[in-house]
């Protein structure tokens, strides 16, 4: 019986039940899949990108990290990449015949971009990584300030502002995208950012581009906000053009440390 284009799913990460929605393109043949990672608190979840991908013949999974938007457990910054690995496990375990496990792409927004780079650097399954307004240098994002952290915590479970700030300040180089970005190569990297980003300064994008190895692309919008609220068409066009031309063939890429 043909599927209905979407299904809810749950999966385990670190003993916690995480929630998500899988958007499935028409037809039962295996197709590429994008794992779309929102940031924190994740007010912009990029469902519009999932709809566009589905219309263009892609599957897309949007899920919520532990302690976030109904997923179980307490929110913990360092486990965000672990949750991404668990989501990839779910997509590639054969449970969803419409998903071609050999053609998986990570797309991360904000701190979801931070998690996408770190997860992609230590897992050979993603064939390409795209980031949108990504946090790439933890030292240049003031989440270590409890007053700044206070903006995010109302939507996160069991983590007061001072604890979120403490976790952020404790991140080491293993959790710095700038230090890990070179491990994505030879897989393609797309960097999308706005020069007017009010949350994550454009310097994060420029630094990531400098540290990453080829193949890589960077596109900067002159005036969009962090969520690209008024410039979604620009965002979709650049992302889909890149996906149309990126090579997703299965290659021999050495497995990296998890």
Domains of the chain, residue spans: 6-245
pLDDT in tens, 75-111: 999 999 999 999 999 999 999 999 999 999 999 999 9
pLDDT of residue 258: 41
pLDDT in tens, 38-83: 999 999 999 999 999 999 999 999 999 999 999 999 999 999 999 9
What is the distance between the alpha carbons of residues 123 and 117, in angstroms, rounded to a whole number? Answer: 10
Tell me the two tokens of residue 50: 């999932």
6-245 has which CATH code?
A: 3.40.50.1820
% the chain with pLDDT above 90? 95
pLDDT of residue 252: 44
Tell me the two tokens of residue 236: 């979709």
Q: What is the mean pLDDT of the chain?
A: 95
């Amino acid at each position: 019986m043909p599927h209905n284009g979407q299904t809810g799913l749950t999966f385990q990460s670190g003993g916690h039940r995480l929630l998500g929605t899988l958007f499935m393109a028409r037809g039962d043949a295996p197709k590429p899949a994008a794992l779309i990672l929102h940031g924190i608190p994740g007010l912009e979840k990029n469902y519009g990108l999932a709809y566009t991908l589905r219309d263009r013949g892609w599957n897309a999974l949007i899920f919520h990290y532990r302690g976030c938007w109904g997923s179980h457990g307490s929110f913990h910054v360092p486990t965000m990449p672990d949750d991404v690995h668990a989501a990839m496990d779910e997509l590639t375990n054969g449970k969803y015949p419409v998903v071609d496990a050999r053609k998986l792409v990570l797309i991360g927004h904000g701190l979801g971009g931070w998690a996408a780079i770190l997860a992609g650097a230590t897992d050979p399954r993603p064939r390409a990584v795209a980031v949108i307004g990504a946090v790439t240098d933890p030292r240049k994002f003031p989440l270590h300030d409890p007053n700044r952290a206070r903006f995010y915590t109302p939507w996160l479970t069991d983590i007061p502002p001072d604890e979120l700030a403490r976790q952020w300040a404790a991140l080491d180089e293993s959790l710095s995208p700038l230090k890990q970005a070179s491990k994505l190569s030879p897989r393609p990297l797309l960097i999308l950012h706005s020069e007017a980003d009010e949350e994550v300064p454009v310097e994060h994008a420029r630094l990531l581009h400098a540290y990453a190895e080829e193949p890589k692309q960077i596109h900067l919008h002159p005036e969009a906000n962090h969520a690209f609220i008024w410039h979604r068409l620009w965002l979709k066009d650049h992302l889909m053009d890149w996906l149309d031309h990126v090579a997703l063939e299965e290659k021999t890429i050495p497995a990296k440390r998890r």
